[in-house]
Amino acid sequence: MKVLTILGARPQFIKAAAVSRVIREEVTELIVHTGQHYDANMSDIFFEELNIPKPDYHLGIGSGNHGKQTGEMLAKIEEIILTETPDFVLVYGDTNSTLAGALAAAKLHVPIVHIEAGLRSFNKKMPEEVNRILTDHISTLLLCPTDTAIQNLTNEHISEGVYNVGDVMYDAVLYNKELAASSTTILERENLTAKDYLLITIHRAENTDDVDRMKSILDAFSQIPDKKVWPIHPRTKHKLEDYGFKLDQIPNLYVIEPVGYLDMLSLETNAKKIVTDSGGVQKEAYFAEVPCVTVRDQTEWVETLIEDANILTGTDTDKIVAAVNKKVTPSYTPVFGDGKTSEKVLALLKEYLA
């Protein structure tokens, strides 16, 4: 069995590390890195740290407007599919790399496996929502992380090839958490005390590309006296420079470069609270049982909202401050599978071909 895996963005490297390790025991996997993320701390670090096999193809597409970026990926992935004639094309999540890989495969009638299928925010202004809806509607195996995802697909009349396999990010956390726990270097390096700081990540286009939303978020950070550590995504860094916002005027805010996955797990686990707009970080906060505040208007990870484990605030300054200050004591129930998602993916690939 030959599987062509398409990757390009940071969360996809982390998901693929978990799945590749398992499927490679029985499958020939070829990896295509689109080059959507290319800085060493957005790409190489994950391949090295998580032992992801070196990509067989590196497309070097880089940044650009959606049409150009996705279109260039599509043309190049098509050539690779024609050369390699895989049994499946495997895509993860909801990025432009996901859509390009799925579209190239669909046109050539190659079965598509979509990991993290069925998620919906119901906001089509988000590029991720468009990418995931289109990908789901042309996928052959739709591997969902939750029952909510299955229900979303049912609502769109998609039922064939749909399975709840659990969340592959949970596999990744379980596999790496001991290693992350044994390394407290990041806390020492950044002079952080466990449970005495907030961890911040903001990068979604719906926030970064809107000057008013960013101002509102930064105003909230100015009103929160706690120590705040923020590994900043390059998109956010560039946008804040364009807007002329000065982060060094925000009290007790420590902006650092993006960190590797193990350092990130360590920062998450030891944080007092997490403030984010990331999809993956919302879930990791839940896995680590660290309360989360999500500065978005919708979340596709609705399970995390139970008992204020994750509070959805949008970008209203007062709501963010109130949510950060709120004392919450949720009881965390396992809703993202059993950490054996990758094994289920392999079994379903084999079953489909048989």
Is 261 a binding residue for ligand UDP by CB under 6 A? The answer is yes
* Among ligand UDP, ligand UD1, none, residue 259 binds (CB under 5-8 Å by kind): ligand UDP
Adjacent-strand bridge partners of 143: 115, 163
Pick 128 or 300: Cβ nearer ligand UD1: 128
Q: Whose Cβ is closer to ligand UD1: residue 38's or residue 254's?
A: 38
Taking CB under 6 A as the criterion, which residues in 61-80 touch ligand UDP?
none
Does the footprint of ligand UD1 cover residue 96 (CB under 6 A)?
yes
Dihedral pair phi/psi, residue 128, rounded to 5°: -65, -35
Pick one of 2, 107, 189, 238: the residue that binds ligand UD1 (CB under 6 A).
238
Among 3, 6, 7, 10, binds ligand UDP (CB under 6 A): 10
What tokens appear for 180 in the block?
């992350």
Mode of pairing for the β-strands spanning 197-201 and 141-144: unpaired
Query: CB of 354: closest distance to ligand UD1 in angstroms?
Result: 34
Q: Cα dist. 157→21, 163, 165, 257, 337 in Å?
A: 33, 14, 19, 43, 24
Query: Which residues partner with 58 through β-bridges?
Result: 33
Nearest Cα to Cα of residue 74 among 125, 43, 108 = 108
Which does residue 235 touch among ligand UDP, ligand UD1, none (CB within 5 to 8 A, set by kind)?
ligand UD1
- 88 touching ligand UDP, by CB under 6 A: no
Classify 162 as helix, strand or coil.
strand
Which region, judged by CB under 6 A, interacts with ligand UDP, from 111-119, 149-157, 260-268, 326-334?
A: 260-268
Phi and psi for 217 in degrees, rounded to 5?
-65, -45
Residue 128 engages ligand UD1 in binding (rule: CB under 6 A): yes
Tokens of 64: 């650009």
231 binds, among ligand UD1, ligand UDP, none (CB under 5 to 8 A by kind): ligand UDP
Figure out which of the listed residues 3, 281, 324, 346 binds ligand UDP, where binding follows CB under 6 A: 281
- Cα–Cα dist 40/340, whole Å: 30
Burial of 289 (0-12, 13-18, 19+ CB in 10 A): exposed
127 sits near ligand UD1 (criterion: CB under 6 A):
yes
Burial 118-133 (b: 16+ CB within 10 A, else e): bbbbeeeebbbbbbbb
Q: Are 228 and 254 contacting, i.e. CB atoms less than 8 angstroms apart?
A: yes
Under 8 Å between Cβ of 13 and 7: yes
Candidates 51-59, 129-137, 275-283, 313-321; binding stretch for ligand UDP (CB under 6 A): 275-283
- In the residue annotation, 114 being an active-site residue is answered as no
The answer to whether 201 contacts ligand UDP (rule: CB under 6 A) is yes
> Nearest distance from residue 87's CB to ligand UDP, in Å?
27
Burial of 155-181, coded b for 16+ CB within 10 Å and e otherwise, reads: eeebeebbbbbbbbbbbbbeebbeebe
Q: Are 114 and 138 in contact (CB under 8 A)?
A: no
Q: Which of 200, 264, 271, 293 binds ligand UDP (CB under 6 A)?
A: 264
- Taking alpha carbons only, the member of 162, 166, 169, 165 closest to residue 136 is 162
Q: Does 16 bind ligand UDP (CB under 6 A)?
A: no
Per annotation, catalytic residue among 109, 203, 233, 238: 203
Shortest Å, Cβ 123 to ligand UD1? 13
Based on the shown chain and the rule CB under 6 A, indicate whether residue 175 belongs to the binding site for ligand UD1: no
Contact positions vs ligand UDP (CB under 6 A): 10-11, 14, 201, 203, 231, 258-261, 264, 278-281, 284
Residues with catalytic function: 203
Contact positions vs ligand UD1 (CB under 6 A): 9-11, 36-39, 42, 63, 94-96, 127-128, 203, 205, 234-235, 238
